[in-house]
Chains A and B, each alone.
Chain A
Amino acid sequence: MKHRSIHFFKDVFSSYTFLLPWLAGFFFLTLYPMGYSLYLSFTNFNVLQSPRWVGLRNYLIMFTGNAQFPRDERFLNSLWVTFRYVFLSVPLKLLFALAVAMLMNQKLRFIPFYRTLYYIPTLLGGSVAIAVLWRRIFSADGLVNLLLRTFFGVPNPPSWISDPRYALYTLVALAVWQFGSPMIIFLAGLKQIPQEYYEASSVDGAGKIRQFFAITLPGLSPIIFFNFVMQMISAFQVFTQAFIISGGSGGPLDSTMFYSLYLYLKGFAFAEMGYASAMAWFLLVIIAALTALAFKISGSLVTYGSGE
């Protein structure tokens, strides 16, 4: 009995040895920083001097403001810009990804080659090189306008990225262009839907459209949900593209001032790290709330299991 319990503890000990690097990282690089960041969000902190407690002032400035500290309109604008970006780019991206995945799910030659081809924009997507390219393509005398003038005879096309009305949409287009990761996950999901369902329903006389809504969509619903949540979380954090395309300014007229970009500027350019921490915590709350909401809505829409 005593021998067995010694053995048990040795076993637990050796198991935790494997987990040790991750555990240390979790405590020192995630949990402790989270707590510290929450503390900083209630302070005034510029890295050089030690943090000074200001209570809820950072949050107050973010949302309401008062006579002494006016409301931060640029913060609210960055929130609005980011929300528009997320709720435009994510559904469009998923729609495109699903359409292409269905196209790629056919029995055709060269499909592996096509799949690779369609993944290339995603592969290169996060790089500075592509952001630079995008900035140049959508400038007043860029490729898009060259094509519009030469082939479509548009005399005065807008100067996309330097026009506050359109700048955000060029970034949405960039996001949609990089639809590769949800596409591959959709493809894996499509392959798991039993082929017999389609055969049986076509014997019953169901057309392609009917099959899509009655078999494909319900069969894919957990994957649509998964893709939606993951893409939403990463879209809220978009940074590199916005930074490069606007030259780090979020311009023109703050029209591409994304939340992440503003947080970076506040924390590292203006050295208001307490305020930036408050912004980070509010972002965490938004993402947690939206994820929880998505889970709740999905409860009634997502069908798990064999689709009975």
Chain B
Amino acid sequence: MKMKRMRRRDIELVQKIVTHFFIITIGMGMLYPVAWLISASFKETSIIFTAPSLFPKTITFQNYIEGWKGIGIVNFGTFFKNSFLISFLCVVANLVFCSLTAFAFGRLKFPGRDFWFALMMLTLMLPSHVTTIPRYVIFRTLGWVDTILPLVVPRLFATDAFFIFLLVQFVRTIPKDLDESAVIDGCGKFSIYLRIIMPLTVPALITTMLFTFLWTWDDFFNHLLYLNSPQKYTVPMGLRLFLDASGISSWGPMFAMSVLSLVPCFVLFFSLQKYFIQGITTTGLKG
């Protein structure tokens, strides 16, 4: 009897080890390209494509120094500054205006609510191309091309339906009793939003923040449309400029700047990932 139980436990242990091994092996295979990128950024350009090893014998920071200089008068510092500014403004705008809209849809009762909500959900499926050209024409007429306005201003109008949906789902899980007792205490709608709903939707707000940052940081299409002068370029535009200008000779600096461009995403993701899983399991996301 005792023998048998021992044996079963042994089998389970072996099974667990095999599963861990399996998960780690696939995981390493998947992360290999990223690891290779990071390692290549510290290798001398001449050996990047001849040595498959992830661990270079000599580590050089030359690629980072050279890459940072960028093209001509504009260095990567400018690109990073521009990217951070745009991402920051978009994050703030999305947090305020998507949550206000979500509060209205998730909590308030008013005629026409379900109709507007259905329309909002439809915009989630709308391919962005349909509005790209008219919006370009509008922003051009306003003289906004080659400024950051076309990238930031739409966020002030809660155009990211995905986050509204995410926040509405979250708002609906908050017990109604809380609002009712607040009303008895003399709270108006705005104080209910500010004092009750906002603090309780923090996990979803953090997810909104994380994804707004990531998608704005990585956005290439809109930056390509609206930013024309290199002084206003963002990091993705800078990388692309670098790729075109430097040709095949300087892959090392190119990789070094690519790694740098990923650092803010890593930092943000790892510091917030606890909330992130919580926030998105309520719904789906793009990508």
Within 8 A of B (CB), among A251-271: 260, 263-264, 267-268
Partner of B261, one of A37, A129, A240: A129
Report if A15 contacts B (CB, 8 A).
yes
- Interface contact A33-B134, CB-CB below 8 Å: yes
CB within 8 Å for A123 and B127 given contacts A29-B159, A128-B218, A143-B33:
no
One digit per residue, 1 when the CB lies within 8 angstroms of any chain A CB and 0 when it does not, for chain B 122-148 equals: 010111111111111110100000000
- Interface contact A114-B23, CB-CB below 8 Å: yes
One digit per residue, 1 when the CB lies within 8 angstroms of any chain A CB and 0 when it does not, for chain B 49-83 equals: 11010000000000000000000000000000000
B residues at A contact (CB < 8 Å): 16, 19-20, 22-24, 26-27, 30-31, 33-34, 36-37, 49-50, 52, 97, 100-101, 103-105, 108-111, 113, 116, 119-120, 123, 125-138, 140, 154, 156-159, 164, 188-189, 193, 214-215, 217-218, 220-221, 224-225, 235-236, 239-240, 243-244, 251, 254-255, 258-259, 261-262, 265-266, 269-270, 273, 277, 280-281, 283-287
Report if A122 contacts B (CB, 8 A).
yes
- Interface contact A284-B158, CB-CB below 8 Å: no
- In the complex, which residues of chain A have a beta carbon less than 8 angstroms from the beta carbon of B31? 117, 120-121
- Interface contact A25-B154, CB-CB below 8 Å: yes
- Interface contact B129-A283, CB-CB below 8 Å: yes
Alpha-carbon gap, A15 to B193, bound state (A): 12
Nearest chain A CB to B223 CB, angstrom units: 10
- In the complex, which residues of chain B have a beta carbon less than 8 angstroms from the beta carbon of A126? 214-215, 218, 220, 287
- In the complex, which residues of chain B have a beta carbon less than 8 angstroms from the beta carbon of A22? 97, 100-101, 104, 116, 120, 157-158, 164
Nearest chain B CB to A268 CB, angstrom units: 7
Q: A236-B127, A284-B129 are in contact. List 9 more A-B contacts (CB 8 A).
A: A25-B158, A36-B137, A37-B134, A104-B23, A126-B215, A184-B277, A188-B281, A234-B286, A284-B127
- In the complex, which residues of chain B have a beta carbon less than 8 angstroms from the beta carbon of A263? 129
- In the complex, which residues of chain B have a beta carbon less than 8 angstroms from the beta carbon of A19? 101, 104-105, 116
- Interface contact B52-A29, CB-CB below 8 Å: no
Partner of B133, one of A23, A110, A116, A273: A273
Partner of A277, one of B24, B133, B265, B277: B133
Nearest chain B CB to A19 CB, angstrom units: 5
- In the complex, which residues of chain B have a beta carbon less than 8 angstroms from the beta carbon of A302? none
- Secondary structure at the A interface, as helix, strand, loop or mixed, is helix
A residues at B contact (CB < 8 Å): 11-12, 14-16, 18-19, 21-26, 28-30, 32-34, 36-37, 40, 47, 100, 103-104, 106, 108, 110, 112, 114-118, 120-129, 132-134, 136-137, 141-143, 146-147, 150, 177-178, 180-182, 184-185, 187-188, 226-227, 229-230, 233-234, 236-237, 239-240, 243-244, 247, 260, 263-264, 267-268, 273, 276-277, 279-281, 283-284, 287-288, 291
Partner of A146, one of B49, B269, B285: B49
Nearest chain B CB to A219 CB, angstrom units: 16
Alpha-carbon gap, A205 to B277, bound state (A): 35
Nearest chain B CB to A243 CB, angstrom units: 7
- In the complex, which residues of chain B have a beta carbon less than 8 angstroms from the beta carbon of A123? 214, 265-266, 269
CB within 8 Å for A25 and B131 given contacts A14-B189, A123-B269, A234-B286:
no
Partner of A30, one of B22, B159, B235, B287: B159
